[in-house]
Amino acid sequence: MNILVTGGAGYIGSHTCIELIEADHHIVVVDNLSNSSFESLARVESITNSNVDFYQEDVRDRAAMRKIFSEHDIDGVIHFAGLKAVFESVQNPIEYYDNNVIGTFALIEVMQEYGCKNFIFSSSATVYGDPVSLPIKENSPLAACNPYGRSKLIVEEFLQDLFFADNTWKIALLRYFNPVGAHKSGLIGEYPIGIPNNLMPYIAKVALGKLDILRIFGDDYDTHDGTGVRDYIHVMDLAKGHLKALTKILRKPQVLTVNLGTGVGYSVLDMVSAFEKTSGQSVPYKIVNRRTGDVPICYADPSYANESLNWYAKHNLEDMCEDTWRWLTQNPNGYND
């Protein structure tokens, strides 16, 4: 199949490109490179010994997207393009709604024009907000509590409405928990600019000596050590989940909603300890005030993904730390190396 991967030069997108290529799909990548690097795709080509068709465009540009669809017979779209930081979304809600919501509307409009109705959406566990019960199931109440989560929830609701109006669409809504880790080659991984918004790259940069200290946002949550608890999932497990979802939705028109997580929650201090053990480096930290938009505990019930997709998270916390550390020690300046 010819698969368009929006945001394919980004962290999750680039790892998923590898899985798609290795499954004999042809990929076309569109990315505006606002928070990614073309070098990631050059390395995807090196890992897979293949060529990637790349367009530096924005999905909000309908004319550019029409050009891509007219030049390639696109069978399906995996949509990663979007902004993804909770705290940043609180500070810049206009940017988040424009990029994440309007961008998806524009993309779907062009897909419909070209008769392409196979769509996998990169959603998020943030649509659940502060969960009323744990572990989180797909039918848990939806109550996004920050602009990032609400932008994802708005798109999910739009896609449900789209299917109601035209039930020939084949759609998957994949609600990620917290992606971490890197490809086993150490050639691609996550390297955010400046101070990371996500925990694992923040810890890793401190261990690497790129940052002096890790700021932990709150130690007064109702958790075993007072710090926030999250479900961390290896990015390659997450990438395989997209391939499984693609295979599943192609069988019949549907809107498939699936949590992709491990079902295990680790606190911030658990993560610090695990990374120190793996890297052999100390990770100094200080406790600061909570961040607006954060929730105390969030971890998945992955049983539906197990049953519906035959998908299981295979990497443990040690793997996540080892692969992150390998990537960063081989690329201490990210893709600038």
Catalytic residue positions?
A: 148
Short-list 190, 180, 206, CA closest to 334: 190
Q: What is the CA radius of gyration of the chain?
A: 19
pTM score: 0.96
Rounded to whole angstroms, the Cα distance separating 154 from 309 reads 25
Greatest C-alpha distance within the chain: 56
Percentage of the chain exceeding pLDDT 90: 94
For 224-271, write each residue's pLDDT tens digit. Answer: 999 999 999 999 999 999 999 999 999 999 999 999 999 999 999 999
CA proximity to 321, closest of 226, 211, 224, 234: 234
- Note the pLDDT of residue 278: 95
CA distance 231 to 237: 13
pLDDT in tens, 148-204: 999 999 999 999 999 999 999 999 999 999 999 999 999 999 987 777 888 999 999
DSSP designation for 332: T
Question: Domains (ranges, CATH) in the chain?
Answer: 2-182+232-261 (3.40.50.720)
Separation CA 24–CA 2 (nearest Å) = 10
What the block records as the tokens of 139 is 């039918």
pLDDT (tens digit per residue) in 12-68: 999 999 999 999 999 999 999 998 999 999 999 999 999 999 999 999 999 999 999
DSSP 110-162: HHHHTT--EEEEEEEGGGG-S-SSSSBPTTSPP---SHHHHHHHHHHHHHHHH
Closest-CA residue to 181 (of 78, 67, 323, 54):
323
What is the model's pLDDT at position 85?
87
